[in-house]
Structure 1
Amino acid sequence: MTDLLRMSASELRHAFGKGELSPVEVTRSYLDRIANHNPRLHAYLEVFSEGAMRQAQASEQRLASGLPVGILEGVPLALKDLIHIQGRRTTSGSTVHAQRAPSAITATVANRLMAAGAVVLGKANLVEFAYGGWGTNAGLQSPVNPWDSQRARCVGGSSSGSAVAVSAGLAAAAIGTDTGGSVRIPSAFCGLTGLKTTQGRVSNHGFDLVSHTLDTVGPMAWSAHDAALLLQAMHGPDPQDPATLNHAPEDFISRMGEPLKGLRISMAPDDILGDVDPWVRVAVQEAVCVMQSLGWQRRDEAFAGIDFVADQAETGVIISSEAHAAHGRLLADEPPAGDSASRARLMSGATISAQRYVQALRSRELRSQAFARVFDHTDLLVLPTLPITARPLDALDENDLSPSRLTRFVGYYGLSAIALPCGLSPEGLPISVQLVAPAFHEGLLLRAGAAFQSLTNFHRARPSDH
């Protein structure tokens, strides 16, 4: 049964369709595993045991009927707990919401996933108010990385619980949000494939946002094929999110096998990357060799003049300002104890003037137009998702921006990106390579990811089950 719970969403979907597995039995097994492991791993804040079983039973009936079924029929998922589901409390990872009334609405993403047949196992843990890259949450207990059974290590944030749920075999896939790396960072630390979508590709309706300018929704799963399934179910115009209305739906799944020979890739040079763990550097270089074996052409000159690390501060101005506007009032007076690091980042927005905030937005617009010209010379930028591997929880410096140093520029410039497992460190910890594309090129990223994974097995690695 442990092996069954380490199957990918695509593999489960196939087995359900063939009648080889039962959604009811698989869901029950996931719930049993959650009960056994969640007290140590802190992946979930709430588990929907009864609701999940009802959804699994409905899926099983639909599959048995011979009628058309959804593309995620019976597949068990975890949703980050800033996604509203009617009748369920949304905490956003904060103790201030411990007594919050159940939600009156269901997010568009949640509705679409359930309409596609997905079984929602529960709400996943996260950094308080989704504002942090290490994945810690002192108020509600920090999720623990399942790749090290001897020492508690970080998971990455802010979609921390979503990553643990999948990598520990507590869900087949999960949904996270990415502002400056919050899907890609935990995916990288936990050996997953994580897709950062373009804002407007997937509806943000029904979310507790940290930054309405930068927040995006993305899948976290074992493979690019899994991510394509989830994106297919989630994306598309939504009248309740105007940003989505100008972008027609796409068929990501049917295009997954399209050839990519001749694709131009640009590997980031060392002077741009800065300090990178040596085993990370080697693994990414080897990943580029695999990509070249696919017939992809290197065009490293595209990186000439790029300094995306300098955009860290500007991104921080936007996020802090908008996070404080959205949540600052909740921390007034004497709020219950929570995560001091996340709260300090959020409350720093109170000191940012309206003029500085507007300047940051205008600067982003102008600089994004200039950055877009990079893609005149290349199709994909290639660089490590993270310069490091998972660090011990008891040795973290919350002021260290290492987790987001190579991811923030993607959100700042309005691009799309995918994090792909590409190796293991000497300690057996996941290493990840990041592919970055222009806005609304998720299909290209998914196809490129699938092509890379057709020649590698890093996405098939699983942590030891202790």
Structure 2
Amino acid sequence: MAEALVRPIAALARDLAQGRTTSRELVEVALARIADAGGEGGRAFTKVHAQGALLAADVSDRLRKEGVVPSALAGLPVSIKDLFDIAGDVTTAGSKILRDAAPATADAVAVARLRAAGAVVIGRSNMTEFAFSGIGINPHYGTPLNPYDRPRRRIPGGSSSGAAVSVADGMAAFALGTDTGGSVRIPAALCGIAGFKPTRARVPLEGAFPLSTTLDSIGPLAPTAACCATVFQILAGEEPRPLVAAALPGLRLGIPKNHMLEDLDIEVMQGFESAIQRLARRGAKLVELAVPEFDEAAKANVGGGISPPEAYAMHRKWID
């Protein structure tokens, strides 16, 4: 049943357009997956908006019959990382410190844009406390397990842990996450889906609990890179447009010789080599080069980098 949602957004949108499914059916599938006692719904989500999602799905189906389809996201269930404001909800940012905070009075800008595009908010996804880790562990609300090799209880990656698991496990068609130093990209990679960190502030940060005011970015997690591009158009406030693949013949791609490819596991190196060779066969020109800035950045991060002092400035009232 979960496989119904673990499909590209374009395929789901096509099924909706051709009447092969409805938003209500997709939302019911997502809710059933979340409620499955043998699954990860109880750890992937901190709050489920079951009734609100079903109501929104029915509205979406009715509007579709009237010819109103705001975007390719219309009628699709989305999970929202629990550091975004949702009107009427408490935003905990994965911490028990904020459990008794006042509810948000308005949606975060990113959430509002997804709603305006017709997406159905299915619930709040779990995360690393205050988004400060790439592992995905949360001692307060539980840690959703990676969908791969689950009996061995592998980590999901973080900090957008619940977001990645919700998509990989068919509890949402796509997810809204944040990325400061890998918090979208790491869990997406570990859970076998795609994740995209846009340029900082390309998506407005209003209504998102901050970690690093310099590095925070809002981005999607979804089954494919094309799905991420579709969601990003909406998040960035752009008019939806057809996605056109870039021509590869003649495209020069730099392959760093230093730092980034050092000390890799053999499986990771093999995967990387396979990917760049596929690009080369399609006409891309691979150029090896040294990028000394990578080494300098690594040295700068030995002492913690930019994020910790900025996070301390935000959290000092709970630390001091």
Q: Distance in 1 between matches of 2:293 and 2:132?
A: 30
Aligned residues: 318
Partner of 1:27: 27
Partner of 2:196: 195
Partner of 1:51: 52
What secondary structure sits across from 1:3 in the alignment?
A: helix
What secondary structure sits across from 2:196 in the alignment?
A: strand
Q: Percent identity?
A: 36
Q: Distance in 1 between matches of 2:245 and 2:19?
A: 25
**One-letter amino acid of the structure 2 residue matched with residue 217 of structure 1:** I
Give the Å deviation of 1:69.
2.9
Partner of 1:16: 16
What secondary structure sits across from 1:6 in the alignment?
A: coil
Partner of 1:294: 282
Tell me if 1:312 matches 2:301. yes
Say if 2:35 and 2:41, in contact at 8 Å, map to a contact too: no
Q: Distance in 1 between matches of 2:309 and 2:276?
A: 38
Say if 1:175 and 1:218, in contact at 8 Å, map to a contact too: yes
Off by >4 Å, runs of 4+ in structure 1: 37-41
How do residues 318-329 of structure 1 correspond to structure 2 at under 5 angstroms? 318-329=306-317
Q: TM-score, normalised by structure 2?
A: 0.93
**1:318-372 deviation line (CA, Å, top 9, x unaligned):** 211111111231345xxxxxxxxxxxxxxxxxxxxxxxxxxxxxxxxxxxxxxxx
* 22-31 or 270-279: bigger deviation: 270-279
Q: Distance in 2 between matches of 1:108 and 1:114?
A: 10
Partner of 1:441: none
**One-letter amino acid of the structure 2 residue matched with residue 48 of structure 1:** H
Partner of 1:158: 159
Say if 2:234 and 2:240, in contact at 8 Å, map to a contact too: no
**One-letter amino acid of the structure 1 residue matched with residue 298 of structure 2:** V
How do residues 241-260 of structure 1 correspond to structure 2 at under 5 angstroms? 249=238, 253-260=241-248
Q: Distance in 1 between matches of 2:191 and 2:243?
A: 27
**1:115-170 deviation line (CA, Å, top 9, x unaligned):** 00001100000000000011111122112111113211111111111011111111
**1:266-287 deviation line (CA, Å, top 9, x unaligned):** 2232655321111111111011
What secondary structure sits across from 1:329 in the alignment?
A: helix
RCO comparison, higher one (Cα < 8 Å, 6+)? 1
Partner of 1:143: 144
Partner of 2:85: 84
Say if 1:228 and 1:252, in contact at 8 Å, map to a contact too: no
Partner of 1:72: 73
Give the Å deviation of 1:252.
7.0
Partner of 1:425: none
Partner of 2:233: 232
How do residues 174-213 of structure 1 correspond to structure 2 at under 5 angstroms? 174-213=175-214
Say if 1:8 and 1:173, in contact at 8 Å, map to a contact too: no
Q: Distance in 2 between matches of 1:40 and 1:27?
A: 14
Say if 2:163 and 2:177, in contact at 8 Å, map to a contact too: yes
CA 1:205 to 1:281, structure 2 compared with 1: closer, same or farther past 3 Å?
A: same
Q: Distance in 2 between matches of 1:229 and 1:26?
A: 19
**One-letter amino acid of the structure 2 residue matched with residue 290 of structure 1:** R
Instruction: Structure 1: give runs of 5+ residues left out of the alignment.
Output: 237-248, 333-466
Cα RMSD (Å):
1.9
What secondary structure sits across from 1:123 in the alignment?
A: strand
Match 1:275 to one of 230, 239, 263 = 263
**1:15-39 deviation line (CA, Å, top 9, x unaligned):** 1111111110110111011011555
Q: Distance in 2 between matches of 1:198 and 1:50?
A: 35
Partner of 2:217: 216
* 81-90 or 264-273: bigger deviation: 264-273
Give the Å deviation of 1:70.
2.6
Instruction: Structure 2: give runs of 5+ residues left out of the alignment.
Output: none
Q: Distance in 1 between matches of 2:257 and 2:126?
A: 35
Q: Distance in 2 between matches of 1:124 and 1:305?
A: 35
Q: Distance in 2 between matches of 1:45 and 1:154?
A: 18
Partner of 1:125: 126
Q: Distance in 1 between matches of 2:51 and 2:264?
A: 46
Partner of 1:134: 135
What secondary structure sits across from 1:103 in the alignment?
A: coil
